[in-house]
Amino acid sequence: MPKKYDTPLLDQLEKGSYPSFVTEIKKAAAKNEQANDLLGALEQCYKDKKTHWKHGGIVGVRGYGGGVIGRYSDIPDQFPGVAHFHTVRINQPSGFFYNSKALRELMGLWDQYGSGLTNFHGSTGDLVLLGTKTEHLEPLFAEVSSRGWDLGGSGSAMRTPSCCVGPGRCEWSNIDTLDITYNITQEFQDEMHRPAFPYKFKFKTSGCAVDCIASIARADCSIIGTWKGDIRIDQDAVKWYAKNGMDINAEIINRCPTRCMSYDGKEIKIANEDCSRCMHCIAKMTKALRPGKEKGATILIGSKAPFVVGALLSWVIVPFMKMEPPYTELKELTRKIWEWWDEHGKNRERTGELIERKGMRNFLEFIGVNPQPAMIKEPRRDPFYFWQPDELK
């Protein structure tokens, strides 16, 4: 494909030592008309300091209500190659693991049916195929699905779940993040592909409270691995850290949020009943400290971006849940939550927002969970609360 546009502004973003997305677009542009026009269209945005994309109309593949984001240029005459430029969300494998064979095949298909540009990955977690025409959607889907790939979520549906690397490569994972993610994705295929919820619903799973998938900040259901029982201490390794120059008091003991640790210059002691399992000491002394042995997860609900009344972090709903396949308890809980949300949720009302609007009690009673102090940072301040008739005389 010959160079079609001068891009003096974008060209400046090929300098500097970090790999350049402009170079990537140019690489694709060299053999792809759509990518070539994207380059021109993007330069135009840089010149005009504004976006040139219009609203997406509803486009998709047969039998699916989501997985494709429609997108049209507002200056299609200038850049016909991106007149339509829809993205296709491919559901990534758990933990973003790949091998070369599978991806080479997929990339080949994308060169054939799309712009040759991708996002590894979208911030929800999908493998995003970035930009194709409406008429390519069906053939592309036939090709990729026949090779074992499926679409991710979009619209008012369950969104593509994602997770941290977990047991795949991390010593702290208390749960099988990869399997949980795969399992619930399979279980809820229908909820993912055929939007029928009041709004989007996201799952993210982290193996421990380090939360390397940022689940607590951006998942309607955040699953975070944790443990019961004492932190396991290898006192020889403690000595090794001390010898290797770690200031154990400054770095560990004094930074423990619950002040439940002590160090006498030789050994570390932990008052485990006061430990909040924040992971600090374990993360900073991986050779010496390891989580306790009874494994499970804390289920937190509700996080989201700031629209409409400010961002939410997820709230603890089930302090401890055993996580063993087939994850029946989690699935039942999920279905209960969706049932309640379906019944009461307004259009474009996320689960967390609904809980706020209806009150935690209404939610907990419906899903059958008892009130527990772990659910709150602090009890209410005001003296204005309700009683149910059966609580009175």
Q: Which two tokens stand for residue 337?
A: 């939550």
Q: How far apart are CA 48 and CA 346, in angstroms?
A: 38
The one-letter amino acid code at 131 reads: G
Residue 94 touches which of ligand SF4, a second copy, another protein, none (CB < 5 to 8 A by kind)? Answer: another protein
Residue 93 DSSP class: P
Residue in the block written with tokens 């486009």: 59
Residues 334-363 touching another protein, rule: CB under 8 A, are: 356, 359-361
Rg for the chain, CA atoms, rounded: 25
Q: Is 376 in the site for another protein (CB under 8 A)?
A: yes
Token pair for 265: 């210059």
Nearest to 163 by CA among 120, 201, 219, 119: 219
CA-based max dimension of the chain = 84
Binding region for ligand SF4 (CB under 6 A): 164-166, 170, 172-173, 206-208, 210-212, 256-258, 260-261, 270, 275-282
Shorter beta-carbon distance to ligand SF4: residue 83 or 170: 170
Q: What is the 3-state secondary structure (H, E, C) of 308-349?
A: CCCCECCEEEEEEECCCCCCHHHHHHHHHHHHHHHHHCCCCC
| Candidate list 80, 311, 339, 343; residue touching another protein; CB under 8 A | 311
Contact 279, 208 (CB under 8 A): yes
- Quick one: which of 54, 269, 293, 322 contacts another protein (CB under 8 A)? 54
Pick the closer one to ligand SF4 by CB: 235 or 276: 276
Q: Which does 293 bind (CB under 5 to 8 A by kind): another protein, a second copy, ligand SF4, none?
A: none
> Which stretch in 126-134, 169-177, 293-301, 376-384 sits in contact with a second copy by CB under 8 A?
376-384
Which residue from 221, 268, 270, 316 is in contact with another protein, where contact means CB under 8 A? 316
Residue 247 beta carbon to another protein: minimum distance, rounded to whole angstroms:
8
Work out what residue 156 binds among a second copy, another protein, ligand SRM, none; the CB cut-off runs from 5 to 8 Å by kind: none
Helices 328-344, 351-358: axis angle to 10 degrees equals: 70
Q: Which of 1, 3, 6, 27 binds another protein (CB under 8 A)?
A: 27
User: What would the x/- binding string for another protein be over residues 109 to 128, using CB under 8 A?
Assistant: -xx----xxxxxx-x-----
Strands 72-73 and 53-54: antiparallel
- Shortest Å distance, C-beta 262 to ligand SRM: 21
Q: Minimal distance in Å, beta carbon 319 to ligand SF4?
A: 16
Q: How far is the CB of 39 from another protein (least distance, A)?
A: 10
Residues 275-314 that bind a second copy (CB under 8 A): 306, 310-311
CB half-sphere exposure, 164, CA atoms < 13 A: 25
DSSP code of residue 388: -
Q: Which residue is nearest to ligand SRM (CB)?
A: 122
Give residue 73's identity as a one-letter amino acid code. Answer: S
What amino acid occupies position 149?
W
At its nearest, how many Å lie between a second copy and the CB of residue 384?
Answer: 7
- Cis, bond preceding 22 (omega within 30 deg of 0): no
User: Residue 23 Cβ, how far from ligand SF4 at the closest point, in Å?
Assistant: 22
The footprint of a second copy (CB under 8 A) covers 306, 310-311, 381-384
